Amino acid sequence: MTTTAVHPHAAADHEAHHELGWMRRYVFSTDHKVIGIQYGVTALLFLLFGFCLMLAMRWQIAYPLKPLGILSAIFGSENVKNGVMVPEFYNQLGAMHGTIMIFLGVVPLGVGAFGNYVVPLQIGAPDMAFPKLNMASYWVYFVGGVIMIVSFFVPQGAAQSGWTSYAPLASIAPLGQTYWLIGMIFLITSSLLGSVNFIVTIVQLRAPGMTLMRMPFFVWAQLVTSFLLLLAFPPLEVAGVLQLMDRLAGSSFFDPGGLVVSGEARLTSGGGNPLLWQHLFWFLAHPEVYVLILPGLGIIAEVIANNTRKPLWGYKSLVYSTIFLGIMSFIVWAHHMFITGMGTTMAAFFAATTMIISIPSIVILTAFLISLWGGSIRFTTPMLFALGFLPMFAIGGLTGLPLGLPAADIHLHDTYYVIGHFHYVVAPGSLFALFAGVYYWYPKVTGRTMSEFLGKLHFWPSFVLMNGIFLPMMFMGLGGALRRGYDPTEYVHSQATQGWNVISSWSAWLLGLVQIVFIINFFLSIKAGKKVGANPWHATTLEWSAPSPPPHGNFDEAPQAYRDPYDYDPAARNGFRAQADPAEA
Amino acid sequence: MLAAGYAWRLPLDASTHGGAIDALIHMVHWFMSLLFVGWGIFFVYCLVRFRQRAGHEAVVKLPKAKPSKLVELIVVIVEAVLLLGFSIPVWAQVRGSGHLPNPEDALVVRVVAEQFQWNIHYPGRDGVFGRTEQSMMGKENPVGLDRSDSDAKDDIVTINVMHVPVGKQILVHLTSKDVIHSFALPLLRIKQDVIPGMSTPIWFEAAKTTDAIRDAMARTYMVEAVDMSMLKNQVAMAPIEAEDGTVIVAERADITDTVLEAMKAAGVREIRAAPRVPTEIACAQLCGLTHYRMRGYLHIDTEKQFADWMTREEEFLAEEEEEDY
């Protein structure tokens, strides 16, 4: 397979770069590393914010209608009456928690931060193919985030129709929903700009010798993710514009007409269909699940190979499974809609595709597990998070099976079982992988390591508490407890599982405390972390051949890939052969 | 047994079709558990056996792993069996349009959802639904029934109260006036989104009466350890008296904050309670501000109870007509 040389103009530009002002270097930078850090810091802040929204919600869920105490003053008199959170504020917290964690937190961290920082380094490129587009992508994302935050302060608050924004509820919702839609249009535009950039960069800017099958698995994961973003997001962007038109311009794309809302006839032309929104939404939102998880799987592959000190088992299976997963993810979306009134034929089709897509997931998980066999496993902090990821991702994946079987879904749909399932995938799943990535590449970004002691103090309680939050949700879901309930004790069938909510909430609040350890470690290590050289983990891939932190243009010399990405071997010096090392090539 | 509030299994099933759904859920969970335990044993074994230590080196070349192919093959086969052998046939039976009951053999009901109530519309003795008009919808006439239509004269409309006879197929036509709701009967393994602009038919057949379900769900609570979150909308299954013989709570009376405090004050140690109407109609789809309180009461009656209820409703209707004159 042929490879493409480093973009000649890009290299020349970097060699001839002149000193830029502070604003151009650190704020409106076109350097992929600075943009990666910008994405990373912004996404971590959004994750913290979205997480805090959930911590507030969990009070109302565990102790319905009990006063919030000192938090009442923070949320304001509109949102808290007589010390108790009001339902409309609870609905805002729910909708915005989902939106922020997914679109402003996990995806920008996995793709915008790690993808931006690591991909060009791993393929031996001096930067992304379109640096200005890259900068635009970040700032459009930033503006989208600001719009989402501002929406909390508009009359009647932020969006409150769930992160899924189903019409017609969203069409008739207060002003915050308009902000949500405009914010989403910015966020989607940002993702589209980014995905085009990643695809061109990976295809065009690979260093000599970096054939497709020599690319680290992380790069493959980012490539497939970019295609998912590029092909799945446009329908949602269109849907967002259509819902905006329904709200502002009197159209009725999602309004069938003849509605009577709060006793008043709603005068619209009608002719639309609420299910159209769901189809357009889930056409994005199911591939989005893989957008959330694939960068994480990429990180896990890097960390496992590095810390087992042996090549990744089944590299080709991993690559082909990931591509297959990406393709299949476009034809499973309606399994989120079994309960809308789907007939047997369509239910059978989407259930079958859902069962089929579980196979590559199992292949990937199995490859990671077998990669442990025969290794010399180092229990570093990144490895602990990677190892913690495996059983959690397994639970997340396995609990998708009953939801994908239409008959079982009748009972489980819209219950806490669904919440538990996808949170196992994205919280102790994706987020653990992203934490592994932070600990793993922190030395590359800063030239210093994070504290191993604090890292372990972060991991172990997080591992226990994540299960404390989400395992109870499985029991509650089996009991039939419905999601999105402001007061879960209103329905008698949910009272039988209400005790689990208390455990879940306390686990969440303690998890919040534990994250303080991470925050301290993250900032303290910038100055106090142990100074390290280019390759503190004795890793193989190209980014570890660049100085830590890499200079503008990334490499002191144009790199070349001489071998497969994971050439770990006890017989070699320090137990590995770097991809960029021509010796023994 | 875990304390109140910590149930971890499927709730009681009171339908004729729910057993098949429960069996599928059990089967798939057994399969998931086996797979997870298998992976877990391998995982822990690897972590212990292949941990980095003095004198231990990684083995670079591993033989082709046949067990992994075997695991993948088993997963494919089991998933195919669960899907084709169980899930799709059950779905076809419960949701397939070809399996809807014959309206002449079933009780046919219209359910019209709105924020935040369930409007139940019975066709009456003639079995024909009267005409409904959007323009006639209002607080007093939630489904917009045109009583001037001859078919509408005997129609019965209730809000949040639905009576059905046990052992008879019920055919429900679901519609919504405003936003998407979801008609959920957790104890009858029924859940169906209610989409505005569409009429969606579903059916079910109850195998137990509400009274029988209430008896089956009754449990004993330790008064000191319980709070109202566990007892909301529940009734006492037996009268409770203080030492001086005063009745604190009568049989089938609601348990309230006051009742609970009175029991604590009187030193009552335990109470046997059950949901007043255990078969609630829940809304499973976020539908707005007080979505969480959108609750109807499904009463599964014996044939006689149902006939008596229907007669009472007809008498109410006749009284209303007289008042109108």
- ipTM reported for the complex, 2 dp: 0.95
| Mean pLDDT within A302-320 | 96
Collapsed DSSP state (helix, strand, coil) of residue A13: helix
User: Which residues on chain A are in Cβ contact (under 8 Å) with B233?
Assistant: 490, 492
CB A324 within 8 A of CB A397: no
CB A141 within 8 A of CB A187: yes
For the stretch A403-431, pLDDT in tens is: 999 999 999 999 999 999 999 999 999 99
* Residues 6 or more apart in contact with residue A61 via CB below 8 angstroms: A485, A488, A501, A504, A505
Alpha carbon distance B120, A344 (integer Å): 27
Largest CA distance in chain A: 80
Alpha carbon distance A303, A426 (integer Å): 18
Predicted confidence (pLDDT) at residue A387 exceeds the cutoff of 90: yes
Specify the pLDDT at position B3: 65
Surface of B (148-187) touching A: CB under 8 A: 177-180, 182, 184, 186-187
| Mean pLDDT within B292-319 | 96
Judged by a CB distance cut-off of 8 A, whether residue B216 touches chain A is no
CB neighbourhood size of A457 (10 A): 17
Please judge whether A341 and B195 are an interchain contact, meaning their C-beta atoms are less than 8 angstroms apart.
Answer: yes
Please judge whether B232 and A391 are an interchain contact, meaning their C-beta atoms are less than 8 angstroms apart.
Answer: no
Predicted confidence (pLDDT) at residue A12 exceeds the cutoff of 60: no
Please judge whether B62 and A370 are an interchain contact, meaning their C-beta atoms are less than 8 angstroms apart.
Answer: yes
How far is the alpha carbon of B24 from chain A, nearest alpha carbon, in Å? 6
How far is the alpha carbon of A546 from chain B, nearest alpha carbon, in Å? 26
Q: Is A536 exposed, middle or buried (0-12, 13-18, 19+ CB in 10 A)?
A: middle
Mean pLDDT of chain B: 93
Mean pLDDT of chain A: 94
| Mean pLDDT within A67-71 | 88
The reported pTM is: 0.95
| Mean pLDDT within B235-256 | 92
Please judge whether B10 and A261 are an interchain contact, meaning their C-beta atoms are less than 8 angstroms apart.
Answer: no
Predicted confidence (pLDDT) at residue A4 exceeds the cutoff of 50: no
Collapsed DSSP state (helix, strand, coil) of residue A472: helix
For the record, the structure tokens of A397 come out as: 């994946």
Specify the pLDDT at position B60: 87
* Residues 6 or more apart in contact with residue B129 via CB below 8 angstroms: B110, B121, B123, B151, B152, B155
For the record, the structure tokens of B292 come out as: 């969480």
DSSP-derived secondary structure for A28-41: S---HHHHHHHHHH
Helix (DSSP H) and strand (DSSP E) numbers for chain A: 21, 4
% of chain A residues with pLDDT over 90:
92
* Cα-to-chain-centroid distance, residue A264: 41
Please judge whether B197 and A273 are an interchain contact, meaning their C-beta atoms are less than 8 angstroms apart.
Answer: yes
